[in-house]
Chain A
Amino acid sequence: MAAQSTIEQPERTAPAGATASATRRPGGAGAGLLRFARNTWRPAAVLAAILVVWWLVTAADLVKPYLVPSPGTTLDVVLAQPGYFAHHTWITTYETVLGFAIAIVVGVLSAVVMVYSPTVEKSLYPLLLFAQVIPKIAIAPLFIVWLGFGLSPKVVVAVLMAFFPIVISTVTGMKSIDPEMLQLSATMGAGPAQTFRKIRFPAALPHLFAGLKVAATMAVTGAVVGEFVGANEGLGYVILQANGNLDTPTLFAGLIIMSLLGVLLFVVVELLEYLVLPWQASRRTDATTTTL
């Protein structure tokens, strides 16, 4: 990413409507990260406020400690057996990330096929919707029957959950391209592969990332749903066990770690977006500053 320096200077000949460009912000990855940090402090503050309220509620004895444990107790549970939590978190993370990755590959590929072949799109799209409408929790037991108690049924459920938003967003993205841009590409003598690589795919990226953010959180849900149905490890298993023993501190700890996992994955995707699409990020900031 080149650092721009000569942008502020007005052009040499009669400027025809050059004014809009006078306030150019520095672009690039570094500025993207900075902007990212600037955007994160607000939600962090809200989160801190929620923690304070939680602590106040438990400290003032408003509810029974066995119903809602205090933040301190919850933290103690995790610190008492760090190995236990680390292991189960790792299992769920593994299932989630693997499912998410498979969903990206399969989702993007099917989207590409659907965009280039209307026949495939017409036959596959309704089926996709059908598959999406079935509650995953209802078919998860079937995967346990088919694939056993190992990792695979959880990964499959995670893939199923994450797949749909990725396909939809990629198809939308690739269709959003200006038809004139494609005609222009034809007059440049570009083949279909070149047009895809240089025009269609990059044009779909902003949409794809929107889908990926939804899919990231879905993947976590998918993995945990898989664990709920039948597992002997993973955060879903931890929660079920704690629930059976009325061990609310462990239950809370499991829930919080699970949410953190989802948020973390989401943030990673968002960070990636800032790095891959600095132009997109800059446009979005422009939009927010004008609406504020």
Chain B
Amino acid sequence: MTVGNTTTQRSADATATGAAVEIDQVAVRFRTKKKDVTALRDVSVRIEPGEFVAIVGASGCGKSTLLKLVSGLLRPSSGQVRLHGEDVRGPRRDIGYVFQRAALLDWRTARRNILLQAEMRGMPRAQARQRVDELIAMTGLTGFEDAYPNELSGGMQQRVALCRALLHRPPVLLMDEPFGALDALTREQMNVELRRIWRETGTTVLLVTHSIAEAVYLANRVIVMTPRPGTVAEVIDVDLPVERDYGQTMSAPEFARATGRIRDLLGATTTAE
């Protein structure tokens, strides 16, 4: 599963194909009225197909910016981003995106919110409907298909957003703090379900999160970022079994090691300021 390359910041000329996502010496600079801000500098990451990679770091370190780069919603100031070996030049259709807020359309039921993806892409209707049924069953939304977003809890709304992101079977799923607005208990349940869904779909997942526990439980590798200007501090390989029971994982020595290391890194980088 994980192709164990702890040294992800390898040489820039790594044109090796086969990577799901390749971020190569990327920098992002914003120009505001007062000054130029460097959001990201010298970021190089390589993600293999089917990997689950989490990105953690202090607020404002450019984690979300990284996802926007991969999706093509934002262009790097320098460097290159490649998706399946192709240069990312504009918004990509071969990804699924989940935001912190579910961003559902209030006037559509859960099912029709999921179908929006199919409508925009012009997918055949019958095929889309069948796929929606599959996803609703997979994410535990059965019985809530015809509810409007304002009738759904935060957790259910986020499930709808996840279904919508998975509808077209994207090879890469980008998640920007998807569970950040949920209560702790719901969040744990969603973690368990996301892990299961990832294993069922085999999608490559890039997850931005503030929760170290969430990152380590879910991911094969955790990218730890430094504060602004953000760059990769270290990539942690999570050496936990594929089958991860939530309770057991929390008390596993490897879990303690990985979370401890990340905490050290994040703490060290903040006190170094």
Contact = CB atoms under 8 A, between A and B. Distances in A.
Interface of A: 2, 4, 6-7, 9-21, 24, 27, 178, 180-181, 183-190, 194, 198-199, 202-203, 205, 277, 279-280, 282-283, 286
B151 A9 contact: no
15 contacts: A2-B146, A11-B140, A14-B189, A17-B156, A18-B144, A21-B144, A184-B97, A187-B71, A198-B116, A202-B105, A202-B107, A279-B107, A279-B148, A282-B151, A283-B150
A97 B31 CA distance: 51
Interface in B138-161: 140-144, 146-148, 150-156, 159
B99 interface: yes
Contacts of A187: 71-73, 91-93, 95-97
Contacts, number: 118
Interface string B69-81: 0011100000000
Contacts of B186: 16-17
Given A11-B143, A186-B73, A16 B105 contact: no
Interface string B87-121: 00001110111010101011100000000110111
B101 A178 contact: yes
A141 to B, nearest CB: 45
Contacts of B216: none
A181 B105 contact: yes
A13 B196 CA distance: 12
B108 to A, nearest CB: 8
B120 A27 contact: no
B182 interface: yes
A178 B189 CA distance: 27
Contacts of B146: 2, 4, 7
Among B103, B116, B120, chain A packs the most CB atoms within 10 A around the CB of B120
A203 B142 contact: no
Contacts of A27: 148
Contacts of A277: 107
A280 B107 contact: yes
Nearest to A19: B153
Contacts of A279: 106-107, 148, 150
Contacts of A19: 153
A17 B148 contact: no
A15 B71 CA distance: 31
B118 to A, nearest CB: 9
Nearest to B154: A17
B48 interface: no
A7 B116 CA distance: 22
Contacts of B144: 7, 11, 18, 21
B224 interface: no
Contact of B193 (A2, A16, A21): A16
Given A4-B146, A11-B141, A24-B147, A183 B154 contact: no
Contacts of A14: 140, 189, 192
A187 B189 CA distance: 28
Contacts of B153: 16-21
B97 A21 contact: no
B143 A186 contact: no
Nearest to B97: A187
Contacts of B107: 202, 205, 277, 279-280
B215 interface: no
Contact of B93 (A9, A189, A202, A280): A189
B38 to A, nearest CB: 22
Given A16-B186, A277-B107, 12 more contacts: A15-B140, A16-B155, A17-B153, A17-B155, A17-B185, A21-B152, A24-B147, A180-B99, A183-B91, A188-B117, A188-B121, A190-B120
Nearest to A27: B148
B165 to A, nearest CB: 9
Nearest to B140: A13
B14 to A, nearest CB: 27
B120 A16 contact: no
B245 interface: no
A10 B141 CA distance: 10
A203 B149 CA distance: 14
Contacts of A283: 106, 150
B254 to A, nearest CB: 25
B190 interface: yes
B183 interface: yes
Contacts of A183: 73, 91, 97
**A-B pairs, 9 with minimum CB distance:** A188-B120, A17-B155, A186-B91, A16-B189, A17-B153, A20-B153, A16-B155, A189-B93, A190-B120
Nearest to B93: A189
Contacts of A181: 103, 105
A199 B93 CA distance: 18
Contacts of B101: 178, 180
